Amino acid sequence: MSRQDRADAVDREMAARLLPGPVVRALGRWWEMHASAYADGTPGAHTVRYTPGRWAQISPWPSMLAPTSDGGDAEVSRAEVVSAVADALEREAFREALVAAYVWGKGKRGTPGGSGPATLHQILAFDGLDAALGAAVTALREHGSPSAYAALHRRVPGLGPSFFTKFLYFTGIAIPPAHGPRPLILDRVLSKRLRQMATAVGRKSGHDPDGSVAAWVWADGNWTPHRYQVYLSFMHAAAEQLAAGDNWPPSASADLLECAMFTTVWETSV
């Protein structure tokens, strides 16, 4: 059996088993702590802090973000970024939409001349950026989330999936995909969570006794379009699994699970 065959077998096992008990319980505890903040079943109120002045070199700058001339920190929520992205996309201001998603994603980690602003400045300087972002939006609208992911995969220097899936996530709320699940954020933290579960499933099923396949497919970055499709399928099914239980809102969206998994830890062995 090839490594890809083993990976496919682990994927099928994960799709059948979904979230194990320790993870369900950990997420239930997370919901008990955050139910009042996310009472509508979405993570729209999820807010991050950022320092506008650190992004002074970035243009275009979305008007919903605090002016870069402001001192101190500011806050921006997912719901506010959705509004900013929707407004930008109506004007086909793709770069502006990307900036809103990128700054939210980077938060306080953006430092003057550092990996946040400096990398974004490099991305914005790429001549093919508008075409790539526009193609992704069209692919999402006409074909679905995996096609939109493929349209950006390895297309823009410096823009990896940890950040372009944030652009796709907010775009997918503003412009629902033609069919299939909405995009979700996939970064190295979420990949680590999936790798942890895949390692346990591979060991228990015998398809990946040493965890090497899980480490391969759920690496820290550069996930293939196929891997993103597997991720979306798993997350949306897992969200339905949780909604059918007693410790999760029945009308919760899949991105609430993504938000929870980003900030939740559970026993190493699941």
Q: What is the pLDDT along the chain (270 residues), one digit of tens a residue?
A: 899 999 999 999 999 999 999 999 999 999 999 999 999 999 999 999 999 999 999 999 999 999 999 889 999 999 999 999 999 999 999 999 999 999 999 998 755 444 689 999 999 999 999 999 999 999 999 999 999 999 999 999 999 999 999 999 999 999 989 889 999 999 999 999 999 999 999 999 999 999 999 999 999 999 999 999 999 999 999 999 999 999 999 999 999 999 999 988 876 566
Inter-residue contact 198 to 14 (CB < 8 Å): yes
Residues 6+ apart with CB under 8 A from 204: none
pLDDT the model gives residue 109: 74
pLDDT the model gives residue 113: 47
pLDDT the model gives residue 115: 66
pTM of the full predicted structure? 0.95
Chain centroid offset of residue 263 CA:
13
C-alpha to C-alpha distance for 117 and 114, rounded to whole angstroms: 6
Kindly report the backbone phi and psi dihedral angles of residue 48, in degrees, each rounded to the nearest multiple of 5, phi listed first. -120, 155
Length of the chain: 270
52-87: b or e for each residue (b if 16 or more CB lie within 10 Å)? bbbbeebeebbeebbebeeeeeeebebbbbbbbbeb
C-alpha distances (whole Å) from 75 to each of 23, 52, 64, 261 are 30, 10, 11, 22
Q: Is 75 helix (H, G, I), strand (E, B) or coil?
A: strand
